[in-house]
């Protein structure tokens, strides 16, 4: 198996193994999916940290408003009344005005934080230093663990507009965000090694030879640098819409 040390620019991402006989079309897609799925885990972890601290997302028409404005406009957070954390909530105001301030209690908060830590360890760049290859199965397992923790703390689920639920359902809209710029479209992904593009029409062995113990640094990049003008939603699991 050829060992690929995948980087974006000069920044290490993960290790991945593939037979030298692998078609580069298949390998490029595989590397891109792992790369994008790791980003998804990072985004979910970041939002779950906010969930643990400040509760669920407010409805879009209530975000950023003061209590007086909400009262004046007679707005109501119907999902906030349904999506109560297990064991009750503790009020902790979200100064940014994105979340409803009904945070989980300490025990439930710990469930979320521990799972976040474990998921981040699975996709950590430190896995490169440890010589551990990252697979789609490992990344999917990290996402399943995160989803399981959310279900424990919020058995009634999250609002349909909550970014965590949208990520789990592959409905996230990353257009116009820095997170969206980090994502690489599968059809636009390129792999490079030793200043050579690994063309999708060839096999890995056409570049690295027949030695299955070869280790290479493969850099991933996106062909197009244009900004997306349509909503960007990245499905890292094309045959599994809800990560079942």
| Domain assignment present for 240 | no
Global confidence as pTM: 0.87
Confidence of residue 154 (pLDDT cuts 50, 70, 90): very high
In sequence order, the 6+-apart residues with CB closer than 8 A to the CB of 242 are: 168, 169, 170
pLDDT of res. 238: 55
Beta strand pairing status for 2-8 and 215-222? parallel
pLDDT of res. 80: 84
| Domain assignment present for 13 | yes
| Domain assignment present for 80 | no
Boundaries of domain holding 173: 2-52+112-222
What are the pLDDT digits (tens) for 109-124?
A: 999 999 999 999 999 9
| Domain assignment present for 205 | yes
Question: Which token pair is 24?
Answer: 């580069």
Q: Which of 187, 195, 165 is nearest to 238 (CA)?
A: 187
H or E segment and range at residue 138:
helix 136-153
H or E segment and range at residue 55:
none
Q: Where are the beta strands (DSSP E) in 9-146?
A: 11-18, 89-91, 102-104
Strand partners for 23: 203
What are the pLDDT digits (tens) for 176-232?
A: 889 999 999 999 999 999 999 999 999 999 999 999 999 999 999 998 644 444 445
What are the pLDDT digits (tens) for 17-61?
A: 999 999 999 999 999 999 999 999 999 999 999 999 999 999 988
């Amino acid at each position: 198996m050829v060992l690929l040390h995948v980087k974006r620019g000069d920044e290490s991402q993960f290790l991945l193994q593939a037979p030298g006989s692998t078609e580069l079309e298949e390998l490029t897609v595989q590397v891109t999916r792992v790369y994008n799925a790791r980003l998804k885990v990072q985004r979910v972890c970041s939002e779950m940290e906010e969930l643990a601290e400040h509760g669920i997302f407010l409805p879009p028409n209530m975000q950023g408003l003061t209590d007086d404005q909400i009262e004046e406009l007679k707005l109501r957070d119907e999902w906030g009344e349904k999506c109560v954390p297990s064991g009750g909530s503790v009020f902790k105001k979200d100064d940014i005005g994105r979340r409803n301030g009904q945070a989980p209690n300490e025990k439930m908060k710990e469930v979320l934080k521990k799972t976040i830590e474990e998921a981040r360890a699975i996709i950590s760049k430190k896995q490169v230093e440890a010589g551990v290859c990252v697979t789609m199965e490992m990344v999917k397992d990290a996402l399943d663990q995160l989803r399981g923790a959310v279900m424990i703390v919020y058995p009634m689920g999250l609002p349909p507009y909550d970014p965590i639920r949208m990520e789990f359902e592959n409905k996230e809209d990353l257009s116009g965000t820095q997170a969206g710029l980090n994502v690489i479209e599968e059809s636009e992904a390129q792999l490079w090694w030793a200043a050579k593009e690994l063309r999708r029409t060839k096999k890995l062995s056409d570049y690295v030879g027949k030695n299955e113990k070869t280790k290479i640094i493969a850099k991933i990049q996106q062909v197009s640098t244009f900004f997306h003008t349509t909503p960007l939603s990245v499905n890292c699991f094309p045959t599994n819409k809800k990560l079942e």
